[in-house]
Amino acid sequence: MSAPAGPAPAGPQPADSRVVDVLTVRSVTQVTPAVRRVTLTAPADVVAAAGPSLALLVPRVGDPDPRWPAIARDGRIVWPQGSHGISLRSYTARRQHVPAGSAEGEVDVDFVLHGDGPAAAWAAAAAPGAVLGVASAAPLGEAPAGWLLLAGDETALPAISRILADAAPGTVGVALLEVAGPAEEQPLPAPAGVEVRWLHRGGLAPGAGTALADAVAALDPPGRDDVFAWVAAESGAVRAVRADLRARWGLRRAQHHAVGYWRRGRAMAPAG
């Protein structure tokens, strides 16, 4: 990440550590009934480094002065002593934008409001002036391919939107997107050869059904070598899809990235 921003962490810290980058809420938008987009602002260099995957440091709701950790030289998070109320969660920046010549930029982060985890609670209460920390950033794990399979639920939409936006115009394939119903669909620009297919859960709770795994199982493998599959959703669904991709599709490790973003019955884990 870039130059330090925000207050120094509490307590003694390693000599070679740095403070986390702190972003401030500029606005909040209800994108769908279940998805809240928080637009954050920070210095231009912080915004440029803030993505696509983010390790977010989420403070308690209403905490005006969080006790941020420090980041050691090797990337480890050095937590302050005692109670600090900061939760670590992984999200994807839906958008990073720095206007030409501007000293500041914006980062959009979409939060799914199901469950009672700390990130959902923070996003539900977020208002201009609230703060959020960023410990580190990482790539999405995608790879360029002529034929692309994308499969995910609403938690994966920010990542899938970025992958589709960056895909070459001639890319073909299919994007399978599981959401509660039509009201949760979002505009997703894609190459003309990539079919965007929405899967509706209806009355089922998130993670309770098998719609995503069933949709992948119903696909015929494309029968070509230049294939890449990117999958992210509830952990059980991802395990089923990964097994299908390896066995029936015959994809090698380098040809797919499949990660459980969350686990049913638990608050979003750091990998989610």
For residue 10, CA distances in Å to 22, 75, 226 come to 15, 18, 50
For residue 261, CA distances in Å to 12, 30, 163, 234, 269 come to 33, 22, 16, 6, 8
Mean pLDDT score, 30-36: 97
Mean pLDDT score, 202-216: 94
* C-beta separation of 232 from 258 below 8 A: yes
Q: Is the pLDDT of residue 4 over 90?
A: no
pLDDT of residue 14: 58
Of the pLDDT bands very low, low, confident and very high (cuts 50, 70, 90), residue 114 is confident
Domain ranges in the chain are 18-138, 147-262
- Distance CA(199)–CA(196), nearest Å, equals 10
- Distance CA(207)–CA(204), nearest Å, equals 8
> Is there a common fold for 18-138 and 147-262?
no
Which of 113-127, 138-152, 188-202 has the least mean pLDDT?
113-127
Q: Is the pLDDT of residue 128 over 50?
A: yes
pLDDT in tens, 175-187: 999 999 999 999 9
Task: For the domain covering 147-262, report its CATH number.
Answer: 3.40.50.80
Q: Is the pLDDT of residue 111 over 50?
A: yes
- The region that residue 141 occupies, defined by phi over 0 for left and psi between -120 and 50 for alpha, beta otherwise, is left
Long-range CB contact pairs, 188-192, < 8 A, 24+: 188/157, 188/160, 188/161, 188/164, 189/164, 189/165, 190/164, 191/164, 191/167
pLDDT in tens, 17-30: 888 999 999 999 99
Task: For the domain covering 18-138, report its CATH number.
Answer: 2.40.30.10
Instruction: Name the residue with tokens 């909040």.
Output: 28
Phi, psi dihedrals of residue 49, rounded to the nearest 5°: -90, -10
